[in-house]
Amino acid sequence: MPRDALAYVLHTSGSTGEPKAVGISHGALAQFLAHHQEHVVPRVEDGVQRVAQTMPLVFDGSWDTLLALLLGHELHLLDVEQYRDPDTLVDLVVSRGIHRIDLTPTVMAAVVEAGLFARDHSLRTVSVGGEACPPALWTTLRAQPGLRVLNLYGPTEYTVDAVGARGTDADQPVIGRPLSATTALVLDQHLRPVPDGVVGELYLAGPQLARGYLRRPDLTADRFVASPFGEPGERMYRTGDLARRDAGGLLHYVGRRDHQVKIRGFRVEPGETEAALLALPGVVQATVQARRSALGARLVAYVVAPGPTGDALRAALADVLPEHLVPAVVVVLDALPLTSNGKLDVGALPEPAAGPGPTVTGPPAEGDPLAGSGRPDLPATVTDVTLAFASALDGAPVAPDADFFALGGDSIRAIHVVARLREKGWRSSVQDVFEQRTVAGVAARLRPLATDPARPTRSADPQASGPAGAGALGTTQDAAAPLLDLAPGDLDRLGALLGDRRRTRKARP
């Protein structure tokens, strides 16, 4: 069989939502198996081990345990109900005397929480992979006496595993060093190596490189690029992962390039917030996601934490993180949703809801979140402010006493509130929103545009008349946006919000 002949095809999700078919050659698979036989799987002559198959066979990570069977060890096949339920899996590991389990960090954390290490188990090796390993889990695994801990990293496009670490390598999670014959490069945007300690994008090259994406030459050319460091014609895979190499040669996973997001002009890696959450007492698992809308992005955190409330966790983060890294909302769940591969199912995470109390959402009409009359038993001021808050918060329901900024509001979203209230015929200000913060407080400050005695009204523009009969700008002073200390990038978002960049001006000293 030629080494470059196709061994198997594995479909992996793409950022566009369209699966990509990754073609793996016999030579790439043989190289992966040879490394693991030499460095990962114990020799059967030293004793047959019982290994649990805890990953579906459609997931390339299943090769890690299938290899144990090929080398003479005893493989215990588990069905999805058994390895997806932490309590059941703990019972099986103990009752069958399992020596090795391979799990994603999300599932491993749940199994530890279910009391795995409090039981009389026979485990000799635990391996995590497929996701970043949280520091708390890494610390717990390393602390188990006589337990061999592995952290294996590798994209499907590099045949299962490309880099690996042992628990003895570092006291913080690392992805380690390249496998045999693998080259791991940390490069800048110009494909130049970055110094140790500097974050760059991780590229992989070597005999485990996939052939490419089947019937997708455009995508293959984009991700499998020519290597300026190898022989002529040699390629390397652009992982899209950010990493740094320390002085000892260990690779540290930092995050995804496409997970970076700008929050009020600051470039943010949600993993920083996630790490801070996991360091808080009572937090068992956590993930932080960026929720994007026309008004910009905001961070939403999801945690498994039996004791503390979401508001308490958010307040604790505010004590240790800069404002732009504090999530708008912290949602407490009983468990994080998982895919069939045991990875976090981001699409199944719920949309954040407002705190307790009566809410008004008002069904949108013709795409307008402020359309509809709201609740008839509430004053018009409360209804209109509630709907304006909901519009600024991407349609989330809002309780009258909920804090606008605790729900994810910021300066740009406060401007949006004022603009929408003006469309309903009310005068308000960003200062009102910052000072009052709640629906009830802002509603108490509202003044009708047409009857405001403080400022003369300008003649109505028939092309821009508001719902209350006044001009859409109301007064000559309404035409000027409130003076704000805008963060970098806010001017573009403000222009998009107003719909016309000609209505925004940079302030001159």
pLDDT tens for 305-332 read 988 998 899 989 989 988 778 888 899 9
Other C-beta atoms closer than 10 Å to the C-beta of 450 total 15
Give the model's confidence band at 252: pLDDT under 50 very low, under 70 low, under 90 confident, else very high.
Answer: very high
pLDDT of residue 178: 97
| CATH number of the domain encompassing residue 443 | 1.10.1200.10
3-state secondary structure of 242: strand
pLDDT of residue 495: 53
pLDDT at 496 over 70: no
State how far Cα 182 lies from the chain centre.
Answer: 28
Mean local confidence (pLDDT), 325-346 = 88
> Is residue 111 located within the same domain as residue 229?
yes
> Is residue 26 located within the same domain as residue 91?
yes
Domain assignment present for 291: yes
Q: Which of 122-131, 285-294, 380-389 has the lowest mean pLDDT?
A: 285-294
Other C-beta atoms closer than 10 Å to the C-beta of 388 total 30
> Is residue 407 located within the same domain as residue 288?
no
Give the model's confidence band at 233: pLDDT under 50 very low, under 70 low, under 90 confident, else very high.
Answer: very high
pLDDT of residue 321: 87
Domain assignment present for 495: no
pLDDT at 508 over 60: no
Other C-beta atoms closer than 10 Å to the C-beta of 77 total 12
Domain assignment present for 494: no
pLDDT of residue 148: 98
3-state secondary structure of 66: helix
pLDDT tens for 77-87 read 998 778 878 88
> Is residue 252 located within the same domain as residue 278?
no
Domain assignment present for 195: yes
pLDDT of residue 118: 95
Q: What residue has token string 């009566």?
A: 358
pLDDT of residue 491: 52
> Is residue 296 located within the same domain as residue 215?
no
Query: Regarding beta strands 50-53 and 266-268, do their DSSP bridges make them parallel or antiparallel, or are they unpaired?
Result: unpaired
362: exposed, middle or buried (C-beta count within 10 Å: 0-12, 13-18, 19+)? buried
Give the model's confidence band at 465: pLDDT under 50 very low, under 70 low, under 90 confident, else very high.
Answer: very low
3-state secondary structure of 27: helix
Domain assignment present for 345: no
Domain assignment present for 496: no
pLDDT of residue 39: 94
pLDDT at 362 over 60: no
Domain assignment present for 425: yes
Give the model's confidence band at 394: pLDDT under 50 very low, under 70 low, under 90 confident, else very high.
Answer: confident
pLDDT at 246 over 90: yes
Give the residue from 226, 256, 286 where a domain finishes.
256
> Is residue 234 located within the same domain as residue 327?
no
Domain assignment present for 153: yes
Across 249-253, 269-273, 297-301, which has the greatest mean pLDDT?
249-253
> Is residue 220 located within the same domain as residue 290?
no
Give the model's confidence band at 130: pLDDT under 50 very low, under 70 low, under 90 confident, else very high.
Answer: confident
| CATH number of the domain encompassing residue 127 | 3.40.50.12780
Mean local confidence (pLDDT), 416-423 = 87
CA atoms of 509 and 501, how far apart (whole Å) = 20
pLDDT at 452 over 50: no
Domain count of the fold of the chain: 3
Give the residue from 256, 285, 319 where a domain finishes.
256
pLDDT of residue 297: 74
Mean local confidence (pLDDT), 258-287 = 80
pLDDT at 275 over 60: yes
Mean local confidence (pLDDT), 413-424 = 86
pLDDT of residue 14: 53
Q: In the 8-state DSSP scheme, what is residue 61?
A: G
Q: Which of 149-153, 205-209, 386-390 has the lowest mean pLDDT?
A: 386-390
253: left (phi over 0), alpha (psi -120 to 50) or beta: beta
Give the residue from 232, 256, 280 where a domain finishes.
256
pLDDT of residue 371: 41
Q: Which residues pair with 51 in a beta bridge?
A: 75, 100
Q: Which residues contact 307 (CB under 8 A, 6 or more apart)?
A: 282
> Is residue 194 located within the same domain as residue 328?
no
> Is residue 170 located within the same domain as residue 302?
no
Domain with 323 in it: 269-333
> Is residue 195 located within the same domain as residue 55?
yes
Other C-beta atoms closer than 10 Å to the C-beta of 2 total 8
| Percent above pLDDT 70 for the chain | 79
Q: Which of 165-174, 175-184, 305-314, 484-493 has the lowest mean pLDDT?
A: 484-493
pLDDT of residue 328: 84
Summary mean pLDDT of the chain: 82
pLDDT of residue 295: 64
> Is residue 249 located within the same domain as residue 287?
no
pLDDT of residue 271: 81
* Secondary structure of 355-416 as H, E, C letters: CCCCCECCCCECCECCCCCCCCCCCHHHHHHHHHHHHHCCCCCECCCCCCCCCCCCHHHHHH
CA atoms of 3 and 483, how far apart (whole Å) = 66
Give the model's confidence band at 154: pLDDT under 50 very low, under 70 low, under 90 confident, else very high.
Answer: very high
Q: Which of 175-184, 263-272, 496-505 has the lowest mean pLDDT?
A: 496-505
Other C-beta atoms closer than 10 Å to the C-beta of 347 total 8
> Is residue 285 located within the same domain as residue 391?
no
Mean local confidence (pLDDT), 193-200 = 96
Helices marked H in 193-331: 217-223, 270-278, 310-318
CA atoms of 255 and 325, how far apart (whole Å) = 15
Mean local confidence (pLDDT), 110-134 = 93
